Amino acid sequence: MTTTEGLVPITRDYLARYYDKYPLPPIPDGVTALSARLRALSAELAAASPFSPEEEHLKQEASGVPAHKIDENMWKNREQMEEILFLLNKSRRPVALQQKSTPEDAEIVSTLDDCETKLKEMLKKLEQFQLKNADNVFNTVMTYMPQDFRGTLIRQQRERSERNKQAEVDAVVSAGGSIHDRYALLWKQQMDRRVQLAQLGSATGVYKTLVRYLVGVPQVLLDFIRQINDANGPMEVQRERYGPALYTLTKLVLAVRLYLHLSLARYGQKKIGKDDIAVLQQAVVIYTEEFGKFTTFIGEVFVNAPFFISAEDAGADSRKNDEYRETIIPAGKTHEVPF
């Protein structure tokens, strides 16, 4: 078992040396070209019918700069996959494609079905990845909790909090909210979690009482999580190192959604050509392959990161530091518990 004496401040330089051990394999050169090609095809579709305000917004987003945070990009990719799957839903496809009116229509349907399958698989993997990361963070914090009723209370509080968050999402859906509305809320909830994590490091907010019960948490870890949301904090090194590859994939999925939206909306005026559907299929294949690789890679980087320190690794044994006393409360009496 290690001791806290061996731990050092988790600074940008320290993380940079850690990330040197995990070089990210480069994204294929053709990814950027594919995004540009899809945007060019989308621009050509404007000749068939001018862009609506919604389509103009999609165009601007596909041509813009992705969000800076790694986490936010992961949520953006998840949102775009859901948006694309919504477009690919068989009931929403143009009538000619639903009926497979011509052999050409049937070929396009086959390609769209293949794209749908790949994106569904990738979306499921991403959802599982995010759930696993959230559980890992919480379970690491829990290793510092006394293994008694206090730890149980914290787990119950987290479960209630997550149920409340899910209820908020369900309410948005029930009110007819869009996929974008739902993901705007999901990202807000994620940022709320990150703010609470930062509060844990500074012993403020809802965690002011909790920190009293955290046993043997290394100060270097508390210092790190206090800065976890800072624009120029230690996590900026991760964004600089791995962000560009993820931003490239984000731009690709945005370009896929833009082109698919426009081409299906104008299918009655201009059918999708063989070359164009081939570009779309290639983009989806490369996107799902590369995003899957990135997710696996960043998951390994995260789980082995120096800020992911359990109580055992830090040399703290919460079970040996439990300090509580038993009080027998006579019937009809009350007893105040400071917590």
For 58-73, b/e burial (b = at least 16 CB within 10 A) is bbebbeeebbebbbeb
Task: Output the pLDDT for position 220.
Answer: 64
Q: Which of 242, 217, 215 is nearest to 323 (CA)?
A: 215
* 144, amino acid identity: Y
pLDDT surpasses 70 at 292 = yes
For the record, the structure tokens of 306 come out as: 């120096």
Of residues 202 and 177, more confidently modeled? 177
End-to-end CA distance of the chain: 31
Q: Quote the crossing angle between the two packed helices 103-142 and 274-303, to the nearest 10°.
A: 10
Q: What is the pTM of this model?
A: 0.83
**How would DSSP label each residue in 23-44?**
PPPPPPTHHHHHHHHHHHHHHH
Rounded to the nearest 5 percent, the helix, strand and coil shares of the chain are 70, 0, 30
**In the chain, what are the domain boundaries?**
35-316
Task: Evaluate whether 298 touches 70 at the Cβ level (below 8 Å).
Answer: yes
Task: Evaluate whether 34 touches 252 at the Cβ level (below 8 Å).
Answer: yes
Residue 186: band (very low, low, confident or very high) from pLDDT cuts 50, 70, 90? very high
**Residue 67 DSSP SS3:** coil
For the record, the structure tokens of 308 come out as: 């992911």
Task: Evaluate whether 225 touches 138 at the Cβ level (below 8 Å).
Answer: no
| pLDDT above 90: percentage of residues in the chain | 57
3-state per-residue secondary structure call for 215-277: CCCCHHHHHHHHCCCCCCCCCHHHHHHHHHHHHHHHHHHHHHHHHHHHHHHCCCCCCCCHHHH
- C-alpha dihedral sign at 294, 296, 298, 301: negative
Note the pLDDT tens digit of each residue in 293-308: 999 999 999 888 776 6
| pLDDT above 70: percentage of residues in the chain | 74
Cβ neighbours, 10 Å, residue 51:
15
Q: Which of 69, 74, 78, 46 is nearest to 59 (CA)?
A: 46
Q: Averaged over 29-55, what is the pLDDT?
A: 93
Note the pLDDT tens digit of each residue in 63-105: 999 999 999 999 999 999 999 999 999 999 999 999 999 999 9
Task: Output the pLDDT for position 240.
Answer: 93
Residues near 328 by Cβ (< 8 Å), separated by ≥ 6? Answer: none
Task: Output the pLDDT for position 98.
Answer: 95
Task: Output the pLDDT for position 83.
Answer: 98
Q: How far apart are CA 226 and CA 218, in angstroms?
A: 13
Note the pLDDT tens digit of each residue in 95-132: 999 999 999 999 999 999 999 999 999 999 999 999 88
Residue whose pair of structure tokens reads 């038993």 in the numeric block: 326
Q: Quote the crossing angle between the two packed helices 219-226 and 179-202, to the nearest 10°.
A: 140
Where do the H-state alpha helices sit in 143-218? 149-174, 179-202, 210-213
pLDDT surpasses 60 at 331 = no
Task: Output the pLDDT for position 10.
Answer: 76
Task: Evaluate whether 123 touches 82 at the Cβ level (below 8 Å).
Answer: yes
Residue 287: band (very low, low, confident or very high) from pLDDT cuts 50, 70, 90? very high
Task: Output the pLDDT for position 92.
Answer: 94
